[in-house]
Structure 1
Amino acid sequence: MSTPPNERENDQLPSIPGCDTIIDLATLSKEELEKRVLKLIQVLFPEWAHDVKTLHLTRISGAMTNAVFFVNIPNEDKLVLRVYGVGVEQIIDRENELAWLARLSNVGIGARLLGVFGNGRFEEYLPSRTLNHHDIRDPRTSEGIAACLRELHDIVTIYPFDSTKHHLECWKNIDKWYGVVMSLFPALMKKNAEWFKVLSVYNLERLKLEIEECKKILSMTDSPIVFAHNDTQYGNVLKLEKTGELVVVDFEYAGYNPRAHDLANHFCEWTYDYHSELPAVMNMSRFPTYEEQVHFLKAYLDAPSKHTNRDVVNYAITPEDLQKEVAKWVMAIHVGWGLWGLIQAYNSEIDFDYFLFSMQRLNAFREELVKWKK
């Protein structure tokens, strides 16, 4: 059985089958879940799956927004199943995500979207292994990730940013997520006694003014607008089995952003080991050294790209100067994921200490802001 066809000619998704079925992971046993997924596959892909009688689900660890499974069908191809997390509609724009998946498919990047249902989707399975926190520190692998990001960023030459139609994802999300956090604030204070103590001291009301200060500082930093992934943690980078090629996946947060935002985000992800005993803890001693940053940025600037148009994105810059451009954007990364973490702390059923994650990021934001206000 081959992977279900999914050919697209433009930004639309006309060939993607869909239904309104909801999968409630909180109420289904493993056996019940497998039966529900089997029935769902038969509904979405009837011609392709008419002979499928059984399947086995393997949950992938390290996923922080959705529950992600490999769908293993005896003697057949695998699929990837994503079941959206509770409350993720507050943090993710699905319409924007699906539009970008269509565009990426048009230029041959990423895993193909195969089908959608009420609270999730099926994607193409790429025979590969997911990178880990050791891999991204390896110089050659780091160069490969840099080249992947360069290729993604240069997609802006095909789908240009238009300030009259588009918004920067970073500020759109931060403003939206701050509003959600404040609407959840009373419930957050009541949900956990320790949360109450921490949030009483942090002063989220003052955070709004600090975000505006951050925007003002970064508005004076010239960083070209690109198509950005915005979540380049190692779990979203695959190494293909046959070729060893690196492929970036999971474009839930993708969209237009300054290139420095995406690069700073990747550097921040060096500080996490999502498969450790303390996956939510940010260890700043793991943040790439100046030399490691410059090495990565040199690979980024040197990477050839079939999409490059130097009239759109200026790459006539040294790695050292690009490092200075990137360094300022670290504070925006921290505040964005900090707000995201508070929303997840209230909503998510995934076993992850989102509150700790959030407060570490929000405190790091304030430290960075003080640094750049000088």
Structure 2
Amino acid sequence: MSQVARINVYIDARKIVGNPLLPEVYQILKIIRPEWRAESIEPKNFTDGITNLLMGYYENGKFDEDVILLRIYGEGTELMIDRDLEKKNIFVLSDAGRCPPLYAEFNNGIAYGFVHGQTLDPDTVRDHRIKRLIAEEMCRMHYVKPEGREPKPELFSKLQKFLNIYPDRLDMPEKQKRFVELLPSKDKIIEDFCELKSHLEALHCEIVFSHNDLLLKNIIYSKEKDKITFIDHEYAMYNYQPYDIANHFCEYAGVDEVDFSRYPGKEYQLDWIQHYLVCWEEINGRPGSLVTDRDVEEMYIKVNKFALAAHFFWATWAIIQAKYSKIDFDFLGYGIMKYNEFLSRKNEFLSLKLPDNQ
């Protein structure tokens, strides 16, 4: 496992937005890239997510050669993200060739490598070549087996932790009004959780090491290398195999401008899943020809059932963020949309029947 520098530095997210070359930044970069000259370092703001602040640094205009990323954690995110586990995930995946290396950790963030390429959008994610590369890369990640970690699904234990800190009320009057009027009570949410947990656990799905957050901007495509790379492994953990696929399909809707009609239809899903299952057989040393239409149909049904868990997960996550996060994003509105989509699809997906002879 690679060595990582531990630097006793705190970066003020409010200051770095207006002054990306803070002395604290130089202190970190000097340890990672001692040959860089301070006057030659250039910054780039990569912040696109809604959890952290992300800054990139390179020297003398050499953006295409070497970029160091600094991720400054959002306030309150430690309530939902195990930062020590996140660092272990990066080590494991970097050693497996699935992500760039972790260089350093500082008091409220990490420094790590950069992946060149384009982030996906609602059109490029559907490109025939790109979607197959995504399925293949997901297979490779699912095949990773972190040493010393029990292959036990963590989805529902993670959700239970969310529910334990789910807010009783929100601080601002306008938020509180929407919170009360547009969301069910916490008791009803817990009731939905218990029903969903019971239904999905009964499917007895395979357990794999999963990314769990494959929104479009966490997927990088390099046209030059014809390669897909997944980034941001904050939520990586052992999980039910269909969940990662389901969550990815749910993320076709987008984040800033959510459109749930982008959720892939059955024909599209069957094609995607068939390619994934062939890759899965082959990466496990078995011929891809073993995959049957019944296998594909069974995974399709499981994926759509787990789509409910994905909506539920990010709905509760967003509502907690609405309570604690200082990031300028309508977390409450996003959580309400995700929960409503969970409700609108609930009966449809729970009623799907697996093929006979189970």
| Counterpart selection for 1:45 from 16, 23, 32 | 32
| Distance apart, 1:349 and its partner CA | 3.1
User: Is residue 2:281 matched to residue 1:319?
Assistant: no
Aligned to 1:185: 168
Aligned to 2:180: 199
| Distance apart, 1:133 and its partner CA | 2.2
Q: 1:282 is matched by which residue type in structure 2?
A: V
Task: Provide the rounded CA distance (Å) in 2 between the counterparts of 1:339 and 1:354.
Answer: 10
Change in CA separation of 1:309 and 1:119 when aligned onto 2, cut-off 3 Å: farther
Alignment of 1:297-312 (within 5 A): 297-303=273-279, 307-308=283-284
Partner secondary structure for residue 235 of structure 2: coil
Partner secondary structure for residue 39 of structure 2: coil
Tell which deviates more after alignment, 232-241 or 190-199: 190-199
Partner secondary structure for residue 300 of structure 2: helix
User: Is residue 2:308 matched to residue 1:331?
Assistant: yes
Task: Provide the rounded CA distance (Å) in 2 between the counterparts of 1:242 and 1:97.
Answer: 29
Task: Provide the rounded CA distance (Å) in 2 between the counterparts of 1:203 and 1:27.
Answer: 38
Aligned to 1:55: 41
Matched residue count = 343
| Counterpart selection for 1:212 from 176, 181, 194 | 194
| Counterpart selection for 2:156 from 171, 176, 181 | 171
Q: Does structure 1 conserve the Cα–Cα contact (< 8 Å) formed by 2:68 and 2:113? A: yes
Task: Provide the rounded CA distance (Å) in 2 between the counterparts of 1:315 and 1:24.
Answer: 52
Higher relative contact order (CA 8 A, sep 6+): 1
Change in CA separation of 1:168 and 1:304 when aligned onto 2, cut-off 3 Å: closer
Change in CA separation of 1:150 and 1:29 when aligned onto 2, cut-off 3 Å: closer
Aligned to 2:356: none
Structure 2, unaligned stretches of length 5 or more?
Answer: 352-358
Change in CA separation of 1:109 and 1:29 when aligned onto 2, cut-off 3 Å: closer
Partner secondary structure for residue 202 of structure 1: coil
Q: Percent identity?
A: 24
Q: Does structure 2 conserve the Cα–Cα contact (< 8 Å) formed by 1:231 and 1:266? A: yes
Q: 2:57 is matched by which residue type in structure 1?
A: V
- C-alpha deviations, 1:301-333, integer Å up to 9, x for none? 1226885266xxx97763222101111111111
Task: Provide the rounded CA distance (Å) in 1 between the counterparts of 2:20 and 2:350.
Answer: 55
- C-alpha deviations, 1:15-63, integer Å up to 9, x for none? 1001131111124462364443123222x336444x3434222212421
Change in CA separation of 1:32 and 1:332 when aligned onto 2, cut-off 3 Å: closer
Q: Does structure 1 conserve the Cα–Cα contact (< 8 Å) formed by 2:139 and 2:276? A: yes
Aligned to 2:246: 264
- C-alpha deviations, 1:70-125, integer Å up to 9, x for none? 21321552211211111110110112111121111222111111111111111112
User: Is residue 2:219 matched to residue 1:237?
Assistant: yes
User: Is residue 2:121 matched to residue 1:135?
Assistant: no
Aligned to 1:363: 340
User: Is residue 2:59 matched to residue 1:73?
Assistant: yes
Q: 1:38 is matched by which residue type in structure 2?
A: Y
TM-score, normalising length: structure 1: 0.84
Q: 1:173 is matched by which residue type in structure 2?
A: K
Aligned to 1:86: 75
Change in CA separation of 1:282 and 1:254 when aligned onto 2, cut-off 3 Å: same
User: Is residue 2:93 matched to residue 1:104?
Assistant: yes
Task: Provide the rounded CA distance (Å) in 2 between the counterparts of 1:96 and 1:309.
Answer: 30
Aligned to 2:267: 291
Structure 1 segments, 4+ long, off by >6 Å, are none
Task: Provide the rounded CA distance (Å) in 2 between the counterparts of 1:132 and 1:69.
Answer: 21
Partner secondary structure for residue 64 of structure 1: coil
What CA RMSD, in Å, does the superposition of the two structures yield over aligned residues? 2.4
Aligned to 1:4: none
Task: Provide the rounded CA distance (Å) in 2 between the counterparts of 1:52 and 1:80.
Answer: 16
Q: Does structure 2 conserve the Cα–Cα contact (< 8 Å) formed by 1:217 and 1:372? A: no
User: Is residue 2:3 matched to residue 1:30?
Assistant: no
